[in-house]
Structure 1
Amino acid sequence: MKNIGIFYGTTTGKTEAIVDEIEFNLRKLDYEVFNVKYGIKKIKDFENIIMVTPSYGVGELQEDWIKNLDELKEIDFTGKKIALVGLGNQFAFGESFVSAMRILYDIVTNNKGTVVGFTSTKGYSFDESEAVVDNQFVGLAIDENNQDDETPNRIKEWVEEIKKYFI
């Protein structure tokens, strides 16, 4: 399996904790972790990529991702497999739950990347989400505020699924 690049933005530290859990489930594989606060130049070096972002406001990207958005839009993702993780609060922000994932999804697919790791919307209670395509989330949806007890198992199952694509 080729090296995996994990890129994340965090404001409160919750996203970094999710990245730690992802790392735990990748522990026997080669991967590198990058906080996008320090830039995204390294994305070009990976064919297997995990992007992690919380949603703020009404489905907006985390501020460090926003700072790198223009550069991200210029990356050619041809031949790359990208898995997405979104954090959100399905009850407080049920009208835009994990919608920031969709922003990353659109950039990656517009730039010829392949998104893997879609997950079911079952088990969540939200009004709507831009991150839902064909009745599935475009990545792994995490709600640490209301379903933190579900998080470890959701991550474990999701990582096992994306490993099939990260060859």
Structure 2
Amino acid sequence: MEKIGVFYGTTTGKSGAIADEIDFNLRKIDHEIFNVADGISEIANFKNLILITPSYGVGQLQRDWEAHSAELEAMDFSGKKIALVGLGNQFTFGESFVEGMKKLYDIVTSKGGEIIGMTKNVGYSHKESEAVIGDKFVGLALDENNQDEETPDRVANWIQDILKEFY
């Protein structure tokens, strides 16, 4: 398997903690973790990617991702496999739960990227979300405000699923 690039944007530290959880689950796999605040140019060096973003406001991208959105939109994702992780609050923002993840999905798929790691919309209590296509989220949806006890198992199971697709 080729090395995996993990890129995260964080404001409150929760996405950074998820990057740490992913790091723990990838401990036997060649990978490298990048904070988007330091730039995203390294994305070009990976065929296998995990992109992590919280949502802000009504489904907006986290500010570091937003600051690099023009650069992201200019990238070619052809031949790349991308797994997405979105953080949100399904009760306070139930109409736009993890929609920041959908914004990343739209960018990478419009530039030829292949999305892997979609997850079932089961076990959540949100009203709706553009991040759901059919009956699946476009990646791993996490709610660290209301379901943080679910996170370790969700991440571990999801990592096992995407590793099969990265091969």
In the superposition, the TM-score normalised over structure 1's length comes to: 0.99
1:121-166, Cα deviation, whole Å (9 max, x unpaired): 1100000111001110000000010001100000000000000111
| SS of 1:150 mapped into structure 2 | helix
Q: Distance in 2 between matches of 1:139 and 1:70?
A: 22
Within a 5 Å distance, the mapping from 1:60-71 to structure 2 comes to 60-71=60-71
Unpaired segments ≥5 residues, structure 2: none
1:15 maps to which residue? Answer: 15
Aligned to 2:95: 95
- 1:43 maps to 43
Question: Following the alignment from structure 1 to structure 2, what is the Cα–Cα distance between the partners of residues 102 and 146?
Answer: 21
Distance apart, 1:66 and its partner CA:
0.3
CA distance in 2, matches of 1:133, 1:23: 28
| Paired position in structure 1 for 2:32 | 32
Q: SS at the partner of 1:149?
A: helix
Is the partner of 1:84 in helix, strand or coil?
strand
C-alpha distance in 1, partners of 2:126/2:134? 16
TM-score, normalised to structure 2's length?
Answer: 0.99
Output the CA distance in 1 between the equivalents of 2:145 and 2:116: 25
Aligned letter for 1:163? L
In structure 1, the gaps of 5 or more residues are: none
Residue of structure 2 in register with 1:75 after alignment: 75
Distance across 1 between alignment mates of 2:120 and 2:57? 23
What residue number does 2:116 align with? 116
Match of 1:129 in 2: 129
CA RMSD of aligned residues (A): 0.5
CA deviation map 1:6-32 (0-9, x unaligned): 000000001100110011110000000
The alpha carbon displacement at 1:34 in A equals: 0.5
**2:152 is matched with which residue?**
152
* 1:141 paired residue number: 141
CA distance in 2 between counterparts of 1:152 and 1:136 reads 20
Question: Tell me, what secondary structure is at the counterpart of 1:159?
Answer: helix
Question: Secondary structure at 2:61's aligned position in 1?
Answer: coil
Give the distance between the partners of 1:37 and 1:97, measured in 2 at CA: 23
